[in-house]
Chains A and B, each alone.
Chain A
Amino acid sequence: NAGVTQTPKFQVLKTGQSMTLQCAQDMNHEYMSWYRQDPGMGLRLIHYSVGAGITDQGEVPNGYNVSRSTTEDFPLRLLSAAPSQTSVYFCASSYTTGTGEAYNSPLHFGNGTRLTVT
């Protein structure tokens, strides 16, 4: 059981280049999300998806696109990389709690992609 798998682990881009960060989960989780982690700022939500075909913006969505064509995959695209996007990116997933449930199901994280934009 692999859980949440992110590729690549490391990436260096030049300003203006594009790339896609891959995320796949094998737990049949409906909910998936992308966070970025910067020193002293914790984890900030970029985009999220509550199911295939449904995506929405988080706290810091500018410069990033996502799509969700399958339950398993949730790629994050940088169309034109900028130095401000140098960060560690984490994908996370969880199952969907039923309507009226009084709690939120915990997130399961991948091991991250460390991105440097020069």
Chain B
Amino acid sequence: GQQLNQSPQSMFIQEGEDVSMNCTSSSIFNTWLWYKQDPGEGPVLLIALYKAGELTSNGRLTAQFGITRKDSFLNISASIPSDVGIYFCAGPNYGQNFVFGPGTRLSVLP
């Protein structure tokens, strides 16, 4: 089946640093989603992207829909402790279903 790759798998950063992560697919997508999961909670939608080249921000978060339509990027500026969690990318699979990447686990050191 379709698979997404996310990198890095995990990262440890100092509070205040900027963060970059990406997601790649072997297929072309018409939609990219980025979710964050806090411990013990369900994934929460951060940003949805619908057009190649699109750059969308949500507070300190910025995501981009890659030009090739096979990748997407998420940046977090000036990280804070509450940014800790797992970040998932997702793309359409078949019908209205989505396939999810394995996640990037972010730890923020004070």
> CB-CB contacts of A84-118 with B at 8 A, as 1s and 0s?
00000010101011000011111111111000000
> CB-CB contacts of B74-110 with A at 8 A, as 1s and 0s?
0000000000000010101101111111110000000
For B45, give its contact among A42, A44, A102, A108 (CB under 8 Å).
A108
Contact yes or no, A45 B42, CB < 8 A: no
Contact yes or no, A33 B97, CB < 8 A: yes
Contact yes or no, A109 B43, CB < 8 A: yes
Smallest CB gap from B34: residue in A: A106
Interface membership of B31, Cβ < 8 A: yes
Chain B: interface size category: 20 to 34
Give the complex CA separation of A112 and B40 in angstroms: 8
**Total A-B pairs in contact (CB under 8 Å)?**
63
Q: Is the interface of B mostly helix, strand, loop or mixed?
A: loop
How many chain A residues touch the partner (CB < 8 A)? 30
Q: How far is the CB of A104 from chain B (nearest CB, A)?
A: 5
Residues of A within 8 A of B92 (CB): 104
Give the complex CA separation of A96 and B103 in angstroms: 26
Contact yes or no, A110 B96, CB < 8 A: no
A positions within 8 Å CB-CB of B: 4, 31, 33, 35, 40-45, 48, 50, 58-59, 90, 92, 94, 96-97, 102-112
